[in-house]
């Protein structure tokens, strides 16, 4: 045994033997001392030819040490020949492996007890007394003291060997008894919106069907009925049946409450079935925030080991996407349970250990479900009214510009999260049909567009280009430029307005969205340094928003290194011209854009977007409360930010603004002030993407809003009015009338 092994077990073999010899002389009853040191009479003369009692202790300690190390083959090598004939190695190892699984065993330690003696009736049998401490993942640490191991002299080995039975794991396991972990799983906690409205809870019910094997009237008919009601295959059900003792009450599977209602009488007649029900996950506002809340399900094969390490089993329900997944350990709590030794007839012979469950903790999101629902309704009305033929979907994100809390994050089209629940309330067949339809839908409703949809940004990128060209000093704050309908520098580019905008300053160019002005911005910045403009854009895009609760597309901003490394070409000024208006290889997500707009609104602070307001047990002090997480500063001079802010406010309030016509007849919004930027991003050969990015109120910004409608037309005609309607509901609780033609 290595020094490391001796240290971990607490005793070297020699040390154990010495301790046992001390126990032998000091702690045993007088009659046991006599057995340990027999008188040299004719009756026990044979015993004097046996190996010493100390070598029996050595064999016992080596057996225990190999158990500690998990080396079942080495343990088996120390088992007597007759025991090996009774239990082949595969059986022996399987018994230990199943016991370890039921215990959730991490390891054992052992120590000698207070006696080592020969059996009074047989000199070739030695009794070794010892203690074991089991360390487990679920039940913690528990001791099993005063154990006795029987060793026999094995003539074939010429030495002492363990007369092994399953009782060497735990004494009561002899005689066919089994270890059983009776789990006490805490009920999964709820998910609420910021105002305490339930989004997910355990209000659904399912039923477990059980039967005693010997009491089933007609197994052939029963197995078919069980397959129909539980959804389990005939092979699985037959295996459960075959592996069960005749008098065991066996769980055959689970069924939805409505399936139970329709089939319980027939199950009682055909199977002699009994039932018990339990709560399951249900999504109350099932389409409101499915892309955020996520789903639960059984562990995949790859997840089983991790789940079991946490004390759960392969039948446990865990989070599989969204908040359900990212906050899974909080929402599911920690299981408790009892480790029992149960007779073949189901009688509890011993409770080995127990531990209480730790309650699950609820999660409150930053989302306002009323705002979320209103936005979904607004977008659905636009799609219904205008039938955007090429559009597969849309995104809307509303964020608090002072905290980073996401107040709404809509991905359209949405779906019913209950279809993905292990026991769907609409029934398994209907749910399966819904899931199949969703997976085949070319609109990809399961894609969370605000975080995973990546698109060219179009003219909304002009906000960043404005900040970059002025902050870098390449342009002055009021840099003039004659914005004609065409721009020419070895390449020809045109403006969206055929006649152009005339002479404009930097702020006016942003308000009017003058393309030639920003073509020149890209050109001039590239002349100074090809990395300059991409570097500013990469402050906001290309590495994700920092959101930790949902999967996120990092987006992409090209630069000279990328082009040379990936395409094998040098960067040119035309690349800078393209990215200056958010085209070329630019890819951003709506969430990244709203974070950028929030930073402009709050004066330059880049905040981490967050979706969880707090977590804990209802009525108790929260274990988690959201804190503002400042990821950094834009690094833009305050006077530059002020120019961009004023230009964005003019977009909706001055005649030259590209979205003014969408807001001019809305006096309440005009009064508080909406500051924004339109964007129309090319997606050749399809229809352009429509963007609008905004914040409000003008003087004390509270929220930033980004609307993106895929392949639907112009930002001013599609995304801007949706933004207007969203802000009307958010600030005034007013749902809009049916939308007018864009």
Q: Do 556 and 621 reside in the same domain of the chain?
A: yes
Q: Do 152 and 196 reside in the same domain of the chain?
A: no
**β-strands 191-192, 362-365 pairing:** parallel
Q: Do 223 and 163 reside in the same domain of the chain?
A: no
The arithmetic mean of pLDDT across residues 21-44, rounded, is: 36
Domain count, the chain: 3
Residue 247 has a pLDDT of 84
- Output the furthest CA–CA distance in the chain (Å, rounded): 126
Domain harbouring 516, CATH code: 3.40.710.10
Residue 461 has a pLDDT of 98
> What's the CA dihedral at 297, 300, 305, 310 to 10 degrees?
-10
| Nearest to 373, CA basis, from 289, 283, 284, 282 | 289
- Yes or no: say if 276 and 210 are a contact pair by the CB < 8 Å rule: yes
Residue 207 DSSP symbol: E
Residue 30 has a pLDDT of 33
Q: Do 129 and 211 reside in the same domain of the chain?
A: no
List own/partner pairs for 428-434 with CB under 8 A and 24 or more apart: 428/231, 428/256, 428/259
Cβ atoms within 10 A of the Cβ of 246, count?
A: 10
| Nearest to 150, CA basis, from 70, 83, 227 | 83
Whole-number average pLDDT of the chain:
91
**Which of 147, 175, 203 is a domain's end point?**
175
Residue 12 has a pLDDT of 47
193 exposed, middle or buried (CB, 10 Å; 0-12, 13-18, 19+)? buried
The arithmetic mean of pLDDT across residues 462-467, rounded, is: 98
Q: Which is more confident, 667 or 312? A: 667
Domain harbouring 150, CATH code: 3.10.450.100
Asked which of 281-290, 409-418, 437-446, 573-582 is least confident by mean pLDDT, the reply is 281-290
Distance CA 311, CA 325 (A): 17
- Yes or no: say if 319 and 325 are a contact pair by the CB < 8 Å rule: yes
Give the pLDDT band (50/70/90) at residue 21.
very low
- Residue in this structure with the two tokens 């002389």, named with its chain if needed: 25
Identity of the highest mean pLDDT range in 233-242, 329-338, 639-648: 639-648
**Which of 146, 175, 204 is a domain's end point?**
175
- Per-residue pLDDT tens digits for 199-258: 999 988 888 899 999 999 999 999 999 999 988 889 999 999 998 888 888 889 888 888
- Per-residue pLDDT tens digits for 489-523: 999 999 999 999 999 999 999 999 999 999 999 99
- In the predicted model, is pLDDT for residue 91 greater than 70? yes
Q: Do 159 and 276 reside in the same domain of the chain?
A: no
The distance from CA 740 to its chain's CA centroid, rounded to whole angstroms, is: 42
The arithmetic mean of pLDDT across residues 730-737, rounded, is: 93
Q: Do 635 and 492 reside in the same domain of the chain?
A: yes
Residue 16 has a pLDDT of 47
- In the predicted model, is pLDDT for residue 97 greater than 70? yes
- In the predicted model, is pLDDT for residue 382 greater than 50? yes
- Yes or no: say if 543 and 503 are a contact pair by the CB < 8 Å rule: no
- Per-residue pLDDT tens digits for 102-161: 898 999 999 999 999 999 899 999 999 999 999 998 899 999 999 999 999 999 999 999
Q: Do 113 and 236 reside in the same domain of the chain?
A: no
Give the pLDDT band (50/70/90) at residue 23.
very low
- In the predicted model, is pLDDT for residue 359 greater than 70? yes
- In the predicted model, is pLDDT for residue 19 greater than 60? no
Q: Do 622 and 553 reside in the same domain of the chain?
A: yes
Q: Do 10 and 143 reside in the same domain of the chain?
A: yes
Question: Measured at the alpha carbon of residue 455, what is the angle toward residues 531 and 400, in degrees to the nearest 5?
Answer: 90
What residues contact 75, with CB distance under 8 A and at least 6 apart? 63, 66, 67, 92, 96
Q: Which two tokens stand for residue 612?
A: 């969880």
In a domain, residue 259? The reply is yes
- Per-residue pLDDT tens digits for 279-329: 889 999 899 999 999 999 989 889 988 888 888 878 788 999 999 999 999
The arithmetic mean of pLDDT across residues 363-388, rounded, is: 96
């Amino acid at each position: 045994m290595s020094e490391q092994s001796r240290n971990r077990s607490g005793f070297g073999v020699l040390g154990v033997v010495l301790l046992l010899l001390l126990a032998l002389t000091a702690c045993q009853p007088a009659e046991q001392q006599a057995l340990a040191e027999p008188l040299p009479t004719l009756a026990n003369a044979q015993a004097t030819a046996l190996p010493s009692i100390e070598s029996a202790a050595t064999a016992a300690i080596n057996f225990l040490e190999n158990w500690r190390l998990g080396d079942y083959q080495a343990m088996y090598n120390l088992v007597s020949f007759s025991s090996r004939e009774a239990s082949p190695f595969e059986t022996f190892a399987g018994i230990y492996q199943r016991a370890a699984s039921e215990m959730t065993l991490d390891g054992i330690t052992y120590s000698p007890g207070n006696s080592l003696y020969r059996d009074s009736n047989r000199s070739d049998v030695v009794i070794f007394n010892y203690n074991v401490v089991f360390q487990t993942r679920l039940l913690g640490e528990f001791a099993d003291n005063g154990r006795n191991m029987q060793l026999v002299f094995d003539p074939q080995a010429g030495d002492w060997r363990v007369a092994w039975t399953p009782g060497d794991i735990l004494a009561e396991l002899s005689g066919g008894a089994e270890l059983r972990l009776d789990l006490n799983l805490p009920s999964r906690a709820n998910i609420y919106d910021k105002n305490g409205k339930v989004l997910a809870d355990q209000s659904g019910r399912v039923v477990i069907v059980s039967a005693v094997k010997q009491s089933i009237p007609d197994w052939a008919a029963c197995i078919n009925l069980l397959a129909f009601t539980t959804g389990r295959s005939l092979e699985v059900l037959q295996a459960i049946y075959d592996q069960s003792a005749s008098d065991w009450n066996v769980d055959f599977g689970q069924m939805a409450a409505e399936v139970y209602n329709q089939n319980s009488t027939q199950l009682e007649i055909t199977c002699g079935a009994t039932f018990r029900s339990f709560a399951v996950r249900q999504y109350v506002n099932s389409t409101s925030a499915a892309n955020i809340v996520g789903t639960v399900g059984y562990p995949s094969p790859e997840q089983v080991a991790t789940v079991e390490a946490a004390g759960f089993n392969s039948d446990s329900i865990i989070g599989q996407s969204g908040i359900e997944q990212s906050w899974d350990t909080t929402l599911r709590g920690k299981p408790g349970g009892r480790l029992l030794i149960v007779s073949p007839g189901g009688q509890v012979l011993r409770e080995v250990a127990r531990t209480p469950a730790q309650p699950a903790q609820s999660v409150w999101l930053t989302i306002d479900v009323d705002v979320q629902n209103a936005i979904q309704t607004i977008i659905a009305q636009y799609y219904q009214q205008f039938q955007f033929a090429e559009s597969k979907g849309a995104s809307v994100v509303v964020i608090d510009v002072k905290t980073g809390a996401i107040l709404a994050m809509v991905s359209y089209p949405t779906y019913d999260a209950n279809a993905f629940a292990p026991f769907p309330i609409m029934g398994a067949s209907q749910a399966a049909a819904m899931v199949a339809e969703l997976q085949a839908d070319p609109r990809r409703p399961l894609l969370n567009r605000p975080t995973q949809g990546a698109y060219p940004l179009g003219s909304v990128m002009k906000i960043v280009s404005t900040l970059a060209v002025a902050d870098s000093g390449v342009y002055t704050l009021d840099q003039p430029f004659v914005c004609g309908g065409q721009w020419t520098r070895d390449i020809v580019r045109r403006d969206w307005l055929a006649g152009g905008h005339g002479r404009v300053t930097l702020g006016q160019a942003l308000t009017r969205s003058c393309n030639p002005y920003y073509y020149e911005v890209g050109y001039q910045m590239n002349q100074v340094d090809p990395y300059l403009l991409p570097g500013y854009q990469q402050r906001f895009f290309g590495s994700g928003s920092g959101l930790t609760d949902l999967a996120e597309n990092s987006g992409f901003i090209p630069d000279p290194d990328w082009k040379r490394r990936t395409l094998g070409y040098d960067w040119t000024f035309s690349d800078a011209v393209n990215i200056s208006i958010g085209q070329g290889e630019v890819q951003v997500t709506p969430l990244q854009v709203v974070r950028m707009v929030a930073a402009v609104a709050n004066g330059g602070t880049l905040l981490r977007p967050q979706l969880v307001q707090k977590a804990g047990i209802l009525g108790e002090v929260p274990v988690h409360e959201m804190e503002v997480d400042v990821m950094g500063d834009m690094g833009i001079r305050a006077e530059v930010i002020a120019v961009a802010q004023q230009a964005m406010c003019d977009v909706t309030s001055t005649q030259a603004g590209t979205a003014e016509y969408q807001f001019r007849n809305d006096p309440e919004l005009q009064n508080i002030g909406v500051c924004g930027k339109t964007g129309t991003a090319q997606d050749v050969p399809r229809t352009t993407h429509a963007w609008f990015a905004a914040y409000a109120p003008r003087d004390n910004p509270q929220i930033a809003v980004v609307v993106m409608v895929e392949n639907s037309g112009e930002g001013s005609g599609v995304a801007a009015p949706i933004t207007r309607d969203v802000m009307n509901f958010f600030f005034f609780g007013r749902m809009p009338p049916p939308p007018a033609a864009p």
